[in-house]
Chain A
Amino acid sequence: AQKITQTQPGMFVQEKEAVTLDCTYDTSDPSYGLFWYKQPSSGEMIFLIYQGSYDQQNATEGRYSLNFQKARKSANLVISASQLGDSAMYFCAMREVNDKIIFGKGTRLHILP
């Protein structure tokens, strides 16, 4: 069974609009971490934001925020005021107690001028 589910294989968004990338996860561990990474065409994995399972507040990093709904096992990434440079592949990932990071299948985001 998939542990990280990203249901949007691709998205097209107009520049300057906000965009929400969906992510749901499945784990029985009480302690886990959730990550979002950006992968541009160059291939490098760029860390965007982290949310711990015990964190009370939603994580924010600049234009990125994570909408963490623990009961629904949802960890959506919100990008405000999208820019052309935001066009990339985005991966949701979860770190389990054994420190392994499991990745979702990714969402390819296209920002339109």
Chain B
Amino acid sequence: GAVVSQHPSRVICKSGTSVKIECRSLDFQATTMFWYRQFPKKSLMLMATSNEGSKATYEQGVEKDKFLINHASLTLSTLTVTSAHPEDSSFYICSARDGGQSSYNEQFFGPGTRLTVL
């Protein structure tokens, strides 16, 4: 299957700082990428849908100014957690949709980024 990478895999930051997480599709072009958040022992919650060249669509309850999403190219989307606080500590996972010939447009998930805010 297609490969999606995330960087960094782990990040620890101080409260009040901003953190950028990258999501890259390595061997396909992803017109759409999705960002999820997962609390410990919980399910994945969709945060936003990122479309290349346009503004992200955020799910209800997700702060746009807090979680900035940029999808500048067909292979890269970034999530920036601005002015991070301890409650932002979580596991963030991106997925990328292969807009190619996949019969069911499967989404491929990145390995995740564990954010810890001190």
Contact = CB atoms under 8 A, between A and B. Distances in A.
Interface of A: 33, 37, 42-45, 47, 50, 52, 91, 95, 99-106
A99 B108 CA distance: 13
23 contacts: A33-B104, A42-B111, A43-B38, A43-B111, A43-B112, A43-B114, A45-B95, A45-B109, A45-B112, A47-B108, A47-B109, A50-B104, A52-B104, A91-B44, A95-B107, A99-B49, A99-B97, A100-B34, A102-B46, A103-B45, A104-B43, A105-B42, A106-B42
Nearest to A98: B49
- The bracket for how many chain B residues form the interface is 20 to 34
B93 interface: yes
A44 B43 contact: no
B46 A101 contact: yes
Interface of B is mostly: strand
Interface of B: 1, 32, 34, 38, 42-46, 49, 91, 93, 95, 97, 104-109, 111-112, 114
A-B residue pairs, 6 tightest by C-beta? A45-B109, A43-B112, A103-B44, A103-B43, A44-B111, A105-B43
B19 to A, nearest CB: 17
B106 to A, nearest CB: 7
B91 A106 contact: no
